[in-house]
Amino acid sequence: MFKFTSSEIRDLIIAFVVISLCFGIANTHRDVNALLNLLPFIMVGVGLGFILHELGHKFVSMKYGYWAEFKLWPQGLLFALVTSFFGFVFAAPGAVYTYANYMTDEINGKISIAGPIVNIVLALAFIAVAILVYSSAFTSQISLIIFIVCSMGFSINSFLALFNLLPIGNLDGSKVLRWNAGIWVITIAIAGIMTLLNMTIGVENVVRLIMGL
């Protein structure tokens, strides 16, 4: 059964708020007014991306019969805040800890890849909605707001997927690679292409390219 402890809920909320702030700082270059205006949009992308990423790990862990719980990593949260002032977010505020006496590389890999897959699916969903509202965004304030939210959602979730799939340290990528190199290559390539497109031509041009404009 999908259960949460009170400390887990507290840690998720703290991590969500601070990571949202970090992405806000990184994307507005420490401009306070721009940060205040953009933060609500960023929180939608981070909220869905970060929370559902962690819940993906938790759900798959518990599906295999393990107890899993998100725990805050204060040092990682502080490091994320520091790096955000340099335009980059080291997004490792905590992790879902799976409690098991023994776990195969396959199960560990499947648990680990669940989070990045959630981010990839969310990024694709955000870009799909952005395509749907793009034409009306020029004449409708509501459509424009939706487009901005989707642009931030695509950007943040693409990055979160790529970052977590890096095969370094205790990130998801190391465990996925150890389990199945082919699946790791495919998923990190998708995340990498989306992130590259966002960083080079921007979300609006990605939308225009897909729409053939």
The pLDDT mean for the chain works out to 91
Q: What are phi and psi of 68, to 5 degrees?
A: -135, 140
pLDDT value of position 116: 96
The answer as to whether 89 is a domain residue is yes
Note whether residue 174 is domain-resident.
yes
For the stretch 193-205, pLDDT in tens is: 999 999 999 999 9
Residue 1: inside a domain:
no
Query: By percentage, how much of the chain surpasses pLDDT 70?
Result: 99
Residue 1 has pLDDT above 70, yes or no: no
d(Cα 16, Cα 19) in Å, to the nearest integer?
Answer: 5
Given this model, what pLDDT does residue 45 score?
A: 83
- DSSP helix/strand/coil, 2: coil
DSSP 54-88: HHHHHHHHHHTT-EEEEEE-HHHHHHHHHHHTTT-
Distance CA 11, CA 110 (A): 24
Nearest-5° Cα angle at 116, 114 to 120? 115
For the chain, the distance separating the N- and C-terminal CA atoms, rounded to the nearest angstrom, is 48
| pLDDT band with cut points at 50, 70 and 90 for residue 70 | very high
99 found inside a domain: yes
Residue 17 has pLDDT above 80, yes or no: yes
Cα four-point dihedral sign 60, 62, 64, 66 = positive
Give me the active site residues, please: 54
The reported pLDDT for the residue numbered 71 is 93
Q: What is the pLDDT of residue 213?
A: 78
The pLDDT assigned to 90 comes to 83
pLDDT for 2 beyond 80:
no
**Of 1 and 141, more confident:** 141
Answer yes or no: are the C-beta atoms of 5 and 69 closer than 8 Å.
yes
Q: Number of structural domains, the chain?
A: 1
Q: Which range marks the domain in which residue 73 is found?
A: 6-211
